[in-house]
Structure 1
Amino acid sequence: MTMRKLNLVFTSTPGIGNLVPVVEFARLLTNRDRRFSATVLIITIPERPIVNSYIQTRGTALSVHDNDDVNFLHLPTVDPLSPDEYQSSLGYLCTLIEKHKPHVKHAIANLMATESGSDNAVSVRVAGLFVDMFCTSMIDVANELGIPSYLYFASPASFLGFLLYFPTLDAQLATEFVDSDTEFIVPKDSSITELKIPSFANPLPPLVLPTTALKRKQDGYMWYLYHGRRYLETKGMIVNTFQELEPYAIDSLRVTEMPPVYPIGPVLDLHGLAQWHPDRASQEKIMRWLDDQPPSSVVFLCFGSMGSLSEAQLREIAVGLERTGFRFLWSIREPSKGTIYLPGEYTNLEEILPEGFFHRTAKIGLVCGWVPQVTILAHQAVGGFVSHCGWNSILESLWFGVPMATWPVYAEQQMNAFQLVKEFGLAVEIRLDYREGSDVVLAEELEKGLQQLMDGDDEVRRKVKQMKEKSWTAMMEDGSSYKSLGSLIEELMANIGC
């Protein structure tokens, strides 16, 4: 007797912070219900070797584990984009993704042809296409092929609500905000100090909006509008969050004109970078150093896969760390060489940091390049996390019960920082509105934030411990996210008539 498998196809933005959550969600679905298999369509950017290293190693690991019915399918490359086709890194990514539409259609059509012509004991039917937050142009492909499309959103529900509301907010920004000499739009009237966004419980200061939303004349702004409108065309919006963390934002999305929302997180890669990073020796050195530190004594500073800071800012951080005397593990990345590249590694940090810094802090600190973040957050020596407030990092930190101090850099991280501090009480504030081009965070500011993080705010530490327990419970049988994933599976089956 032939057994029928239902194949779910996934498209992802080609970045670590986007691709990893998509792969882990595909694994979650296929492990929960063995009727499903998954095909992840891979868009390659040769200039991002660390992403390609993940793809190669993870793809190999998936192919040898019977429990993971997830396959990678590499799409043909497209012609390189010319500089006049984009203005920003987001514009580059969205344009590149859109140019892959013919290849995505061809790949899915081939999968569908296989299902009708299979003589194997297992037949396969394509049951749906999942697009991530910047892949909504692929909804056209799903419509052309007659398969349902779903949004997989790897950022918070609050930001999903912001993007859905952005076409409405655009009208307000067009009339009440004007250009300034900083590239950012600013309020015409100084009395406009807050914006009301339906997915946030509190009004937001304009300067915690993403940089993309404050650059109205750049292509990224138009892509925000485009994606926010297209989310409404999907059969459902799956969000990597959980009810106990974002009740207000999730409830704000449950209105009649919206597709159903399914909070199914936290979806995490708990094995992390250590498994596939090419520089294993450096990773092992870091873990040996942590093994020698007392419990909860180390503050960990890391600014994400796309985050880097100016040399002036790095020097201020060094001074602040030295003043506090706290043990520290500090990940430093060299700014990228261009729009399509990721930050790299410095070859000689002694030329950048204050003279004698490494000698004076040799017994209490370790400075390194890119790190196995999830492995570090899981280590008992780590007692605090100075974070760029990327959503994956927030979920990882809460999963392991590590309190955070906010230092946003890019994407929606300023909004995430605001939410953590002002709405959740789960983090200490260093800055909420920092971004590229901001005034330098002085050593005194960092020192104050670290004192509060490591020695001061017991209430934050208590709330983080509670949220750790809630995040674990959400994923257990009968937990909120477990039930929500079950509801999604029922919806998937209903939409294909099973």
Structure 2
Amino acid sequence: MASPAASKPHVVLIPYPAQGHVTPFLRLAKALHARSFHVTFVHTEFNRARLLRSRGAAAVAGADGLPPPGQPAELDATQDIWAICEATRRTGPGHVRALVERLGREAAAGGVPPVSFVVADGAMGFAVHVTKEMGIPTYLFFTHSACGLLAYLNFDQLVKRGYVPLKDESCLTNGYLDTRLDWVAGMIAGVRLRDLPTFIRTTDPDDVMLNITMKQCELDAPAADGILLNTFDGLERAALDAIRARLPNTIAREDGRCAAWLDAHADAAVVYANFGSITVMGRAQVGEFARGLAAAGAPFLWVIRPDMVRGAGDGDGEPLLPEGFEEEVVASGSERGLMVGWCDQEAVLGHRATGAFLSHCGWNSTVESLAAGVPMLCWPFFSEQVTNCRYACEEWGVGVEMARDAGRREVEAAVREVMGGGEKAAAMRRKEAAAVAPGGSSRRNLESLFAEIVGAVQPVINPV
């Protein structure tokens, strides 16, 4: 008779090693675990080391990870996205194979259930070829927006039609990026080149990110048993319909001061500013945001990572913020502003005092803002963030877009505009709540995935 542990379905989750990808994978892991799945969650050694430092050994007890892709173990450094994508695609297949084979040996020894299913990040799509060759059903989970994925799926057409690569650097400034792309099915009317993920902004036909993105869409995604998306039907219906037409396999360290500080403010009075886990900017831009936030008059909670400012920590001794700013605005005990290195973003966005979100438009941040009914000040940094921004501002009507070089006056004006109301964002919150409620589209899709794993998949990995 098989042991209870051996009879459990065993799912291996392989996220791309950036926080915006790890977070939705952790949510999926919790949902699977709550339904008695055995979950193997794959980290890189870099991220495992960061967990050890921030949460202690108990956070990763008994765990190990994939080797780092040739980067130094500077735990406060922003990882090079281009280098990681190139290195994981080049070296990752062998490591994934070795991991799954090792789990097969452990299963044969009775240590874990046999691997029955793999869910890999869309950005780790190379894994699908390895695990499918080993006879293991594999899904790809694209953690960004559906509109972002739809844009990526059209990269090949942009190349074939001659839009990309750019002819020369002048295309970045001469209005070429304002070219409309009315032929892209499923995108909002009037979508422009500048609204698509920034990886198209290259003059190099061999550009790493351009070519890896096309491989993920043209080779990896069609080979998967299914595609999972971190969205819901009511929010991105047209984009999802277009994706399903193309990919029929689509399914759809804590700072405790924040809560107490927010508690001291009136409802919808605070601007929350957070530019995500990998955005970097110069000191001058930080200064413009600082002065703009202060001039707008609303109290603000601002998350500034140690590595967010370009060149910080190189020993030049320059302050991150304008001289006197902290003393003036965010001095200890002040109700005008609070600056922290990290916060529980969902808790902050869900707090009654939060009235607006100054964001880089990463997809996790965008969805969390919509779910909380908090309107957005949109300052996209790169990739599909510019696409998310366009949809948030023009299609869903829950945000105000700010230019990449926004100065203090633009920041102040945007804050004043968004803090003046949030009815559309509240409507989106109701839509999101309906989608994740029992019987909602997201809940139905997730339950369908669980049923498919349990009902249609048998353990297939043999010891090697």
Q: In which range does the TM-score fall when normalised by the shorter chain? A: 0.7 to 0.9
- Report the equivalent of 2:45: 44
- Which residue of 1 is the match for residue 301 of structure 2? 329
Inter-CA distance 349–381: structure 2 relative to 1 (3 Å threshold):
farther
Q: Give the deviation of 1:411 after TM superposition.
A: 2.6
| Counterpart residue number, 1:214 | 201
**Match of 1:481?**
442
Match of 1:166 in 2: 155
After TM superposition, the structure 1 = structure 2 runs for residues 358-397 of structure 1, keeping only pairs within 5 Å, are 358-359=327-328, 362-397=334-369
**Would the alpha carbon gap of residues 79 and 162 (structure 1) be closer, same or farther in structure 2, given more than 3 Å must change?**
closer
Secondary structure class of the residue paired with 2:123? coil
Among 353, 362, 367, the residue aligned to 2:322: 353
Residues 208/56 of structure 1: CA separation in 2 closer, same or farther (3 Å cut): farther
Q: How far did 1:291 drift?
A: 1.9
Rounded Cα–Cα distance in structure 2 between residues aligned with 1:57 and 1:240: 30
Separation (CA, whole Å) in 2 of partners of 1:258 and 1:301: 36
The count of corresponding residues between Structure 1 and Structure 2 is: 443
1:94 aligns with 2:48: no
- Find the aligned partners of 2:449 and 2:290 in 1 and give their Cα distance: 48
* Partner Cα distance (1:359, 1:185) in 2: 37
* Cα distance change, pair 469–292 in 1 and its aligned pair in 2 (3 A): same
Alignment of 1:5 onto 2:12: no
Of 419, 426, 432, the residue aligned with 1:454 is 419
Does structure 2 conserve the Cα–Cα contact (< 8 Å) formed by 1:128 and 1:148? Answer: yes
After superposition, the Cα gap between the structure-2 partners of 1:286 and 1:490, relative to the gap in structure 1 and judged at 3 Å, is closer
Contact (CA 8 Å) 1:185, 1:214: kept in 2 or not? no
Matches of 2:58 and 2:436, distance apart in 1: 23
Could you tell me how far 1:370 is from its partner in structure 2?
3.0
Provide Cα deviations, 1:443-492, integer angstroms capped at 9, x if missing partner. Answer: 2211211111111xx4xx22221222222232222121111112223333
Cα drift, residue 194 of structure 1:
4.0
1:245 is paired with a residue of what secondary structure? coil
Q: Contact 1:383–1:402 (CA<8 Å) still a contact in 2?
A: yes
Match of 2:103 in 1: 111
Change (3 A) 1:330 1:114: closer
CA-to-aligned-CA distance 1:75-125 (integer Å, 9 cap, x gap): 35267269xxxxx9333112332313222212212323344453x8xx723
**Residue pairs, 1:429-444, within 5 angstroms:** 429-431=401-403, 434=404, 440-444=405-409
Out of 11, 22, 31, the residue aligned to residue 28 of structure 1 is: 31
Name the CA shift for 1:260/1:494 in 2 (closer, same or farther; >3 Å): farther
Distance 2:189 2:114 in 1: 45
SS in 1 for 2:8: strand
Map Cα deviations across residues 290-324 of structure 1 (whole Å, 9 max, x no partner): 22112211111111111232211122222222322
Q: What letter is aligned with 2:43?
A: I
Residues 137-176 of structure 1 aligned to structure 2 (within 5 Å)? 137-173=126-162
Match of 1:294 in 2: 266
Q: Letter of the aligned partner of 1:236 in structure 2? A: G
What TM-score comes out, normalization by structure 1 length? 0.80
> What's the CA shift for 1:430?
2.5
In 2: Cα distance, 1:463 partner to 1:309 partner: 30
> How far is the alpha carbon of 1:132 from its aligned partner?
0.2
Local SS of the residue matching 1:394: helix
Query: Within 2, Cα distance between the matches of 1:486 and 1:477?
Result: 10
Which stretches in structure 1 are left out of the alignment for 5+ residues? Answer: 64-71, 83-87, 264-276, 435-439
Offset of residue 356 of structure 1: 5.1
Q: Percent identity?
A: 25
Partner of 1:269: none
**Correspondences of 1:256-295 after superposition (within 5 Å):** 258-263=247-252, 277=253, 280=254, 283-295=255-267
Q: Which of 18, 21, 25 in structure 2 is aligned with 1:18?
A: 21
What is the distance in 2 between the residues matched to 1:172 and 1:201?
20
| CA contact 2:139–2:225 (8 Å) conserved in 1 | yes
Secondary structure of 1:134's counterpart equals helix
Note if 1:178 corresponds to 2:181: no
Deviations 1:150-199 (A, max 9, x none): 111111111122222222222124578412157x59777x9834464334
Residues 344 and 100 of structure 1, relative CA distance in 2, 3 Å threshold: farther
Q: Distance in 1 between matches of 2:337 and 2:276?
A: 20
CA distance in 2, matches of 1:14, 1:219: 18
Structure 2 CA distance for aligned equivalents of residues 232 and 196 of structure 1: 22
Instruction: State the partner residue of 2:76.
Output: none
Structure 2 unaligned spans of 5+: 73-78, 460-464
8 A Cα contact 2:151 2:196, kept in partner: no
Whole-Å separation in 2 of the counterparts to 1:202 and 1:364: 41
Q: Distance in 2 between matches of 1:187 and 1:359?
A: 41
